[in-house]
Amino acid sequence: MLVNQYQRFNKPFIAAIVSLLLISCQAPVAATGTQTPIADSGGKTQFRHHEPAVDMTPQRALALLQFGNRRFVGGELRSREHTNEVAATAGKQDPFASIVSCIDSRIPPELIFDQKIGDLFVSRVAGNFVNNDILGGLEFGSVQYHAKVIVILGHSGCGAVNGACQDVRQGFLTDTLANILPAVQTVREFNPDMPSDDPVFVHKVAVKNVKLNMEKLLDRDTLLRDLTAKGTIKLMGAMYNVGNGQVEFKYKVVNGKVVAL
């Protein structure tokens, strides 16, 4: 049923992806899996190949991200062998999570979650919102592959959110920022007298933008909503602090509703 829905709405997208997969499968080096520490206390040297994402629970996938961010904040990033990572993933990828992040240069998801090449699907757009294009990519990650957790990741000091608060209009950026205006309007309703350039106001909008885009995903994407309802995947909302590197998970989904943690 879900596959049928996917095929009906995404045939061109699937065709393009299948072509890419066929090309990638011709690569000469076979995949050997990816390494992931068992827990956050392992330090820099304890590694193991993480279990296949298909066998991973959503909670386990979330924990891997949380452990990784702790390593990032604590200065305990795993030592990286990018050449080996490329070789290990040349013929196959096995990502366990999808991240929707802002384009902000300070927030490379693979670094802040201390994950390797082949571990994450990452969608980046100014203001970390979802639209049909982003949702299609998330479906690809959790249906064609087995990304068990989807994270909508906002952040402090977001220029896109600030621009939306100030109603900036400039070329195509106007259309981009329009996706953040619902969050601006919602926060404005509850804070009618707060200046739009007040950092507190802007931060409230950034957080609300995460929540609204989780709700937008659940409302618009029946496929991902069903996977969430079945517990096949987990949808989470989080904020990244550009001042200290911490990711704070703030929202989850309970009975189809986005609730605060």
Q: How far is the CB of 150 from Zn ion (least distance, A)?
A: 18
Of 153 and 217, nearer to Zn ion (C-beta) is 153
CA 167 – CA 69 distance, rounded (Å): 33
Of 147 and 153, nearer to Zn ion (C-beta) is 153
Q: Which residues sit opposite 260 in a β-bridge?
A: 251
CA 143 – CA 208 distance, rounded (Å): 28
User: Token pair of 8, please?
Assistant: 């009906």
Where would I find the H helices in the chain?
Answer: 2-9, 11-25, 58-73, 82-88, 109-112, 132-139, 159-165, 173-178, 181-190, 199-220, 222-230
One-letter amino acid of 209: N
Q: Which residues of 229-249 are buried (b: 16+ CB within 10 A; e: fewer)?
A: eeebbbbbbbbbeeeebbbeb
Q: How far is the CB of 155 from Zn ion (least distance, A)?
A: 6
Of 102 and 233, nearer to Zn ion (C-beta) is 102
Q: How far is the CB of 237 from Zn ion (least distance, A)?
A: 15
Q: How far is the CB of 159 from Zn ion (least distance, A)?
A: 6
Of 6 and 240, nearer to Zn ion (C-beta) is 240
Q: How far is the CB of 183 from Zn ion (least distance, A)?
A: 13
Of 69 and 101, nearer to Zn ion (C-beta) is 101
List interacting residues with Zn ion (CB under 5 A): 102, 104, 158, 160
